[in-house]
Chain A
Amino acid sequence: MSNTFIFKFILAEWKKNPWFFIKKILLFIPVLSIVGMFSTAAIVPVVNQKSFLNNCTYDWIAYCDEKPKSGFAFRVMENTTVAHILSTDNALVYRPQTVIDLFIVDEHNLYELEKSYFNKKNLLYGDMSRLSTSDDSVGIALSYNAAKQLNKKLGDKAHLIIRVRQGIDSAKDSHANLRSTYYPVTIKAILKPFEKGIGLVLTNNKFLEFLEKHQLTHEIDYQFVIFGNSEDNHTVSANKIVYKKAQLSDVNFSLSKNKVLLIIAAMGAVVVYLLINREVKFTINRRLRTIGILLALGATEQTLLKTFWIEQAFIIIVTSIVSSIVYKYLLMEPYIGEYINIKMFVTILLIYAAIGLLSLQIAIRKVKTAMKDPSLPDIISSKPEEL
């Protein structure tokens, strides 16, 4: 009985003034999504970093100057620039560009990827096992943030800018100038975002010839990197060992480490709460008279509260869903350039809905107080002369 009444009442309200509801939803969708974007813009990379590392199966990473005698090691060039080359009147301009740690692997060692950063769980688009190319370029797998900064998609071409020291006195001279040489790459896979951009290149004969021709194999600061598990027993003289546990503890959400990020997120939550709370309170103020009349006509308090709650909750949930979609697909991905995975998307949706429903629950106390006012039924049922 009460369910029919609730349904009919809400329907009647919609029919009476549909613009009242639509306007509210339309105004709130951009506001909530933009506020959401700002309050999570700094947290999303941290969440991504944590999830990226959690997907990896290694326990430690060893950085060595020399290739280990046993086992496999990636050759790594730290701080390598990948760029789109623009030709201007005066010179070649590398723009947009991004700096990555470039891992190099050959075809025979592709099976080693699973233990490293470049595992299947961290793959977003493309195929890591098909990095080989049919033209002069080499296939590259880039982390999402690097590809985004480069403004490139799967299948696009870019250039690897390799800078080699060419000193006046010696190659080790810090004042020596840098000679740049470049090699085309084709983006064959995109990985999930990683704090510092990373890339994986699959070498082929032409690329190796290029390296030899420019004597780059001798001049570039290569490092050899081993991804290992606790049971692995490589005899390496590593100059640096990074443990996954330490990497993960670096990206925790403690207040001391992420004070600003947490403050911004909290500010976003407060503003969402205030907005919804003020909106619900405003609706209650407008409805008080109707509530009073219905109460006088015999509707129970419980039914009235339920009616109001269902109606407002419906608006809040619709707004939350659409806001989350706008947040993910219109604001975050194309604009800020961070990747929001489904877990993050659902979390945002739940946060919106939870804050909305919480403020509704708090605001509804006002209806309860109004209903408990003993004068309300008297006023409504009194004769005109008594007023």
Chain B
Amino acid sequence: MKGKFKLIWMLLKESKLSGINKRIGEVIGIILMLSILLSFTVWFRHIQHVYTVLYAETKFDFIVKEFNEEQIAHIKSLPFVEAVFPVRIISGRVIIQDSTTRNIPLDIYAVDSFDSRDISFFSDHLIIKCDKKILENKELNPIIIDFGTARKLGVDTGDKVFIPFGPDQIKVPFTVAAICDSGREPIALILWQGEQRSTFTQIFGHEPIYSIMFVKAVDKEKAKEYFIYEYIPMQMINEGLLSTDDKNGIVEFNRNMLLEREKHLEELYWELRYTPPIVIAASILAFIAYLLVLYREASKKLVMREKDFAILYAAGMPRFYFVMYLLLETVVIHVPLLGTAAVIVKYIVYDFLMESYMPWYLFGWYCLGALTLQIVAVVINGLFAYLKTKKIDISAQLARE
């Protein structure tokens, strides 16, 4: 048994190309090929992800609009509501890094507390990088910004950024506590407290109104029924439109204002045209190309080692060992190459060249698929090698005799 493994190890050592240039050339060629093919397999899924991430990867059920502080407390106390996350959105503001002139227009989500953040666009699942100490320290004035904005500003967690308020552009400092994935939406989350709150109210004379409320429901149907048929939006209360005649109008108004996450996601898929069937089919097509290339590579390898196998078979090595050897070679040589290719795809192709964040929870499945196909390609070839040895039975017998 030990001898057989020695033989396999010997084959493995022999399989490397002679000459450092040739080896480097071979490795670069394979890695490049794997990276590009892997980029294609995940491409359509990534486009879909970028446009739908805020609704596909989040946990809220509804987004409610037109409410005031009293209504928040009431909605929160409803038995079919699990959690709420009310937000004031200050649109069109700019984040500037003090030392440079870079500034990015974005939607600033200002909240009274980070509690229930997990049901919003800033859930932990979408956080790419986080410094919990900064996030929990109100003194540091924490801010969560999206990946694109952080990249454009060249900031990381712990860095200072500034939000200018009012016509005098009074700069309020913030500390980047986390960077999140928001697809193409430039957004930021801040606490509505301290300097930003006082500066804003001083300039504008009032607080910004609540814009949206993320709602997580215990019973989705009941919650939907409530928000359409019973909920009276703030605008209606303010305008005093509460008579029976207005009831139908309010229902229609609520229907238009209530955003159901799942329904909205479905609509986004249709608008995008990269609907799930197309994305799946595109991934399958790319994987077919990937499998064929891997199969051809494995087949070429087998052709090169055919003679060695025949000799070893004649020397008494069991057929099964050839398949084992090929699998071992895949693990020892090709898995690191695939790993390198995966890193290149994530950090160079998507993050750097395409300036778009590729999460591992999305890409990981594709890497796993690629690895499975690599093994499938090798096993198919190994089986061919296994069958081929039958043809050389007679010569092997002769050699043994």
Task: List residues of A whose CB falls within 8 A of some B CB.
Answer: 27, 30-31, 34-35, 37-39, 95-97, 149, 168, 175, 177-178, 259-260, 263-264, 267-268, 270-271, 274-275, 277-279, 282, 285-286, 331, 335, 337
**In the complex, what residues of A have CB within 8 A of residue B295's CB?**
27
Q: Is the CB of B289 within 8 A of A35?
A: yes
SS class, residues of chain B in contact with chain A: helix
Count contacts between A and B, CB distance < 8 Å: 80
Encoded as 1 (CB less than 8 Å from any A CB) or 0, chain B from 134 to 151 comes to 000000000000000000
Residue pair A270, B32 in contact (C-beta under 8 Å): yes
Given known contacts A34-B286, A263-B353, A274-B32, A177 and B256 CB-to-CB distance under 8 angstroms: yes
Q: Are B300 and A282 in contact (CB under 8 A)?
A: yes
* Smallest beta-carbon distance A176→chain B, Å: 8
* Complex interface bits, B280-317 against A, C-beta within 8 A gives 1, otherwise 0: 01100110110011011100100110000000000000
Task: Report, nearest first, the 9 A-B pairs whose CB atoms are least far apart.
Answer: A34-B289, A38-B40, A271-B36, A177-B252, A168-B249, A267-B36, A31-B289, A177-B256, A274-B33
A96 and B273 CA atoms in complex are apart in Å by 10
A168 touching B43, Cβ below 8 Å: no
19 A-B contacts, Cβ less than 8 Å apart?
A: A34-B40, A34-B289, A35-B289, A38-B40, A168-B241, A178-B256, A264-B43, A268-B36, A270-B36, A271-B32, A274-B33, A275-B293, A278-B29, A278-B300, A279-B296, A282-B300, A282-B303, A335-B281, A337-B273
A97 to B269, CA, bound (A): 12
Give the distance in Å from the alpha carbon of A95 to the alpha carbon of B292 in the complex: 36
Contact A175 B292 (CB under 8 A): no
Residues B1-56 near A (CB distance < 8 A):
29, 32-33, 36-37, 39-40, 43
B255, B257, B282 interface centre (most CB from chain A within 10 Å): B282
CB distance from B210 to the nearest CB of A (A): 16
B-side contacts of A282, CB under 8 Å: 300, 303
Partner of A27, one of B235, B278, B281, B296: B296
Find the A residue at minimum CB distance from B303.
A286
CB-CB nearest in chain A for B353: A263
Dominant SS among interface residues on chain A: helix
Q: B354 contacts the other chain (Cβ, under 8 Å)?
A: yes
- A281 CA to B175 CA in the complex, in Å? 56
Complexed CA–CA distance, A105 and B32 (Å): 54
A177-B253, A263-B353 are known; give 18 further A-B pairs, CB within 8 A: A27-B292, A31-B292, A34-B288, A96-B270, A97-B270, A168-B241, A267-B36, A268-B40, A271-B32, A271-B36, A271-B37, A274-B29, A274-B32, A275-B293, A278-B300, A279-B296, A335-B281, A335-B285
Specify which chain A residues have a CB less than 8 angstroms from the CB of B286 in the assembled complex: 34, 38
- Minimum CB–CB distance for A290 against chain B, Å: 15
B292 x A30 contact (CB < 8 A): yes
* Residue pair A95, B270 in contact (C-beta under 8 Å): yes
> What CA separation (Å) do A177 and B254 show in the bound complex?
9
A178 to B29, CA, bound (A): 57
Min CB–CB distance A285 → chain B (angstroms) = 8
A259 and B356 CA atoms in complex are apart in Å by 13
Least distance between A80 CB and chain B CB atoms (Å): 15
For A275, the chain B residues whose CB sits under 8 A away are: 33, 293
> Max chain A CB contacts within 10 Å: which of B288, B289, B297, B354?
B289
Which B residues are CB-close (under 8 A) to A278? Answer: 29, 33, 297, 300
CB pair B289 A30 closer than 8 Å: yes
B232-255: CB near A (< 8 Å → 1, else 0) gives: 000100000100001001001101
Chain A hits for B253, CB < 8 A: 168, 175, 177
In the assembled complex, which residues on chain A have CB atoms less than 8 Å from the CB atom of B281?
335
Nearest Cβ distance between residue A2 and chain B, in whole angstroms? 30
Contact A149 B32 (CB under 8 A): no
List chain B residues, Cβ under 8 A from A149. 273
Tell which of B235, B241, B288, B297 touches A30, judged by Cβ atoms closer than 8 Å: B288
Give B287 Cβ to nearest chain A Cβ, in Å. 9
With CB as the reference atom, state the residue of chain A lying closest to B249: A168
Whether A37 lies near B285 (C-beta < 8 A) is: yes
> Chain B contacts of A37 at CB under 8 A?
285
A168 proximity list for chain B (CB < 8 A): 241, 246, 249, 252-253
Smallest CB–CB gap between A44 and chain B, Å? Answer: 14
A279–B36 alpha-carbon span in the complex (Å): 17
Cβ contact within 8 Å between A175 and B289:
no
A149 CA / B274 CA spacing, docked (Å):
11
Chain A residues closer than 8 Å to B349, beta-carbon distance: 263, 267
Q: How far is the CB of B245 from chain A (nearest CB, A)?
A: 11
Shortest C-beta distance, B377 to chain A (Å), equals 11
